[in-house]
């Protein structure tokens, strides 16, 4: 781990212990670990990745009413899909909790917490590794398509984000669940980003 203050990390771990069930804390620690590994591999800010990984699910177990109330207080524009499924707001609200409870002000860390579920067009490398680590940490299973995505994370971040979006979207379609428009925007942006990279490489 880099210089992520061990005191701050300890404080977050105590908070998580009081607010998240044990299996979810294990998921959080696996996300932190994978996000750091990917950040180091791609020469990104591993400290920011560690902080965002550890704090990405702070609001995961907030009740829907609390998520909606905090979103209103923060003047967030609610998409109809978020109104129907307030749980999706745990990413946006998690960033607010990180700021309020732990004094996090680094915009890279806060953005990575916000982006961990739906991603975002133009998201930076740290957001990409936290987004990928959340979907692909080892606890998500060992299916061959997940292992292929894990491999891709080390080869090409943009392509990995695009393919992971497709994987998630297919699952949502097959289970007839609502799809947040931002998930489509993320998929479209990273599809174009990975195509642009491929055409540069083959030029
Ligand atoms: Fe989450
Ligand atoms: Fe998560």
| CATH classification of the domain holding 104 | 1.10.3210.10
CA atoms of 180 and 52, how far apart (whole Å): 22
Q: Please check whether residue 198 lies inside any domain of the structure.
A: yes
Q: Please check whether residue 32 lies inside any domain of the structure.
A: yes
Q: Please check whether residue 195 lies inside any domain of the structure.
A: yes
Q: How far is the CA of 202 from the centre of ligand 2 (A)?
A: 36
Q: Please check whether residue 1 lies inside any domain of the structure.
A: no
- pLDDT tens readout for residues 136-184: 999 999 999 999 999 999 999 999 999 999 999 999 999 999 999 999 9
User: What 3-state class would DSSP assign to 29?
Assistant: helix
Q: How far is the CA of 171 from the centre of ligand 1 (A)?
A: 17
- pLDDT tens readout for residues 4-23: 688 999 999 999 999 999 99
Top pLDDT among 200 and 20 is at 20
**Is the pLDDT confidence value at 135 over 70?**
yes
Identify the weakest region by mean pLDDT among 80-89, 99-108, 134-143, 189-198.
189-198
Q: Which of 51, 49, 37, 40 is nearest to 6 (CA)?
A: 51
Q: How far is the CA of 54 from the centre of ligand 1 (A)?
A: 11
Report the number of distinct structural domains present in the chain.
1
Looking at residue 201, its pLDDT comes to: 65
Pinpoint the alpha helices (H) of 42-156.
46-55, 64-73, 80-84, 90-102, 107-114, 125-136, 144-155
Q: How far is the CA of 116 from the centre of ligand 1 (A)?
A: 6
Share of the chain above pLDDT 90, in %: 93
Q: How far is the CA of 173 from the centre of ligand 2 (A)?
A: 21
Count Cβ atoms within 10 A of the Cβ of residue 99 and give its class: 0-12 exposed, 13-18 middle, 19 or more buried.
Answer: middle
Domain coverage including residue 187: 6-202
Q: Please check whether residue 134 lies inside any domain of the structure.
A: yes
Q: Please check whether residue 93 lies inside any domain of the structure.
A: yes
Split at pLDDT 50, 70, 90, the class of 3 is low
Helix (H) and strand (E) counts for the chain? 11, 0
The ligand that comes nearest to the alpha carbon of residue 116 is 1
Q: How far is the CA of 56 from the centre of ligand 1 (A)?
A: 6
Q: How far is the CA of 61 from the centre of ligand 1 (A)?
A: 10
């Amino acid at each position: 781990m880099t210089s992520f203050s061990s005191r701050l990390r300890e404080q977050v771990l105590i908070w998580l212990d009081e607010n998240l069930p044990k299996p979810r804390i294990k998921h959080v620690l696996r996300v932190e670990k994978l996000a750091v590994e990917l950040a180091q591999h791609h020469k990104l800010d591993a400290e920011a990745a560690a902080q965002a990984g550890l704090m990405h699910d702070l609001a995961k177990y907030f009740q829907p009413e609390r998520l909606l109330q905090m979103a209103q207080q923060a003047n967030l524009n609610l998409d109809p899909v978020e109104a129907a499924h307030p749980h999706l707001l745990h990413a946006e609200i998690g960033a607010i909790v990180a700021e309020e409870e732990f004094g996090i002000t680094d915009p890279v860390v806060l953005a990575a917490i916000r982006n961990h579920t739906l991603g975002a067009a133009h998201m930076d490398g740290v957001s990409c590794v936290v987004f990928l680590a959340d979907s692909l940490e080892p606890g998500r299973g060992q299916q061959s398509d997940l292992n292929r995505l894990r491999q891709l994370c080390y080869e090409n971040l943009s392509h990995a984000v695009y393919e992971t979006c497709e994987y998630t979207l297919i699952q949502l379609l097959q289970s007839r669940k609502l799809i947040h428009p931002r998930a489509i925007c993320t998929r479209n942006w990273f599809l174009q980003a990975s195509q642009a990279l491929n055409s540069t490489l083959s030029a």
